[in-house]
Amino acid sequence: MADLSLIAELATEGTTKIVLLVMDGLGGMPVEPGGPTELEAARTPNMDRLAAEGTLGLHIPIRPGLAPGSGYAHLALFGYDPLIYPVGRGVLEAVGIGFPLEPHDIAARGNFVTVDAEGRIVDRRAGRIPTEVNARLVERLRTIRLEGVEVRIEPVKEHRFVLVLRGEGLSPALTETDPGKTGVPPLPVRALQPEAERTAALVNRWIEQARALLADAHPANMVTLRGFDRPPRLPSVSEVYKLRAAAIAAYPMYRGVARLVGMEVLEVHGESPEALFREAVARWDDFDFFFIHIKPTDSRGEDGDFAAKVRVIEAVDAALPILLERGPDVLVITGDHSTPAALRTHTWHPVPVLLWAPRTARPDGAPGFGERACRTGGLGIFMATDLMPLILAHAGRLSRLGA
């Protein structure tokens, strides 16, 4: 497990260029016993070449057996153990859209969902409604008032929104309303500590008013809330790693977690791998670390669409020459967690890692980039929080420990 204080003592400034390419939910599983995973089924000549020239392994996102949320998984990739530096999903979404959170605000991630006539959830994402529909529904919900509390609600993307409560005596110690499955109604909010009773009552009151306002808004006729939290204070990547770091991500939550750790979040002009990679190339001289996030691998996994997830991986591979032409000193390709299409959800399975560093890597001679090859790779199986020290070492940015 990485020690941020120790790494901060050893980290040095430099001129080497690092790219951390995260394909969200990259890890997969075979649909049939003995078959390929999504990554193994994809045609990826560029990644396969890098795998043969580099070093492979598998990372465990949080702890063995724990299936992580994307926020926690990304914190771990950046070297911040989320069990030491926990951040709620609501804060990540709010920071991701640039909402000016105040220290005592309570933020929650919201989903528009579809419920049937009995109030049971039939779609936890309301068909991934267009963002413009989301914005119109948010306008309805802005009419809700709660006594003694300022309520702010902002659209995020597709079915997601952010709910922020601002006032005295509020607590984030609340349960979530998303049951994590269909066929059952949303859960009521409950206080996890006595001081959160008032906040739980306020949120439940808000939900009841939202239910009435959305009754005719099919398919987005109800909401769920999760990830209640206050904004934390995290040491920045410049403090710990001595990096000038940039984040290139289309989805607000990932922009949020990057901003929380002190990365400069760049504006993007498209969501395709080509567009995201060209943003990095355009700012190549301004930064020495680029975090690039690809979302659809996770979305297609959650949809249970094996073939579509394969196509996303292939599109990323086809665009890789855009980055490779700039000659990064270290390129790491991985995911934040596994989202096998066969299971339609985030899982605990270790995640493939490809580390390509022409001057320092010990090549595996791997036949390609996939889960089976990674299982026997030279990096072994390691904790995600140890990835950043490995990256810094290969980039020549860690001084020697001891005499």
For 198, the token pair is 């008032």
The structure's pTM equals 0.82
CA-closest candidate to residue 98, choices 138, 165, 158, 154: 154
Indicate where the chain has its CATH 3.30.70 domain(s). Answer: 100-229
d(CA 150, CA 166): 5
Indicate where the chain has its CATH 3.40.720.10 domain(s). Answer: 4-87+234-394
Question: With the C-alpha atoms ordered 343, 348, 350, 351, is the resulting torsion angle positive or negative?
Answer: positive
Residue 399 DSSP code: P
Q: How many CA atoms lie within 13 A of 127 on its CB side?
A: 11
Which residues, in sequence order, are CB contacts of 388 under 8 Å at separation 6+?
2, 7, 77, 78, 79, 241
pLDDT at 93: 86
Average pLDDT over residues 160-173: 95
Measured over all CA atoms, what is the biggest interatomic distance in the chain, rounded to whole angstroms? Answer: 71
d(CA 122, CA 127): 10
For residue 197, the one-letter residue type is E
d(CA 175, CA 53): 47
Average pLDDT over residues 228-247: 94
4-87+234-394: CATH number: 3.40.720.10
8 A C-beta contact, residue 369 and residue 36: no
Question: With the C-alpha atoms ordered 352, 55, 288, 260, is the resulting torsion angle positive or negative?
Answer: positive
Q: What is the pLDDT of residues 269-322, one digit of tens each?
A: 999 999 999 999 999 999 999 999 999 999 999 999 999 999 999 999 999 999
Determine how many CB atoms are found less than 10 A away from the CB of residue 118. 6
d(CA 244, CA 255): 16
Beta pairing class for 106-115 and 160-166 = antiparallel
For residue 266, the one-letter residue type is L
pLDDT at 92: 84
Beta pairing class for 264-265 and 121-123 = unpaired
Specify whether domain 100-229 bears CATH 3.30.70: yes
* Chain mean pLDDT for the chain: 95
Which residues, in sequence order, are CB contacts of 186 under 8 Å at separation 6+?
113, 115, 119, 121, 177, 178, 179, 207, 222, 223, 224
Q: Which residues pair with 106 in a beta bridge?
A: 165
Q: What is the pLDDT of residues 50-104, one digit of tens each?
A: 999 999 999 999 999 999 988 899 999 999 999 999 888 899 889 888 888 988 9
Average pLDDT over residues 189-216: 97
pLDDT at 1: 64
Does the pLDDT of residue 198 top 90, yes or no? Answer: yes
Q: What is the pLDDT of residues 338-396, one digit of tens each?
A: 999 999 999 999 999 999 999 999 999 899 999 999 999 999 999 999 999 999 999 99
Q: What share of the chain is helix, strand, coil (3-state, %, to 5)?
A: 35, 20, 45
Q: Which residues pair with 328 in a beta bridge?
A: none
Classify the phi-psi angles of 316: left when phi > 0, otherwise alpha if psi is within -120 to 50, otherwise beta: alpha
d(CA 106, CA 97): 16
CA-closest candidate to residue 385, choices 9, 59, 88, 85: 59
For 191, the token pair is 């206080």
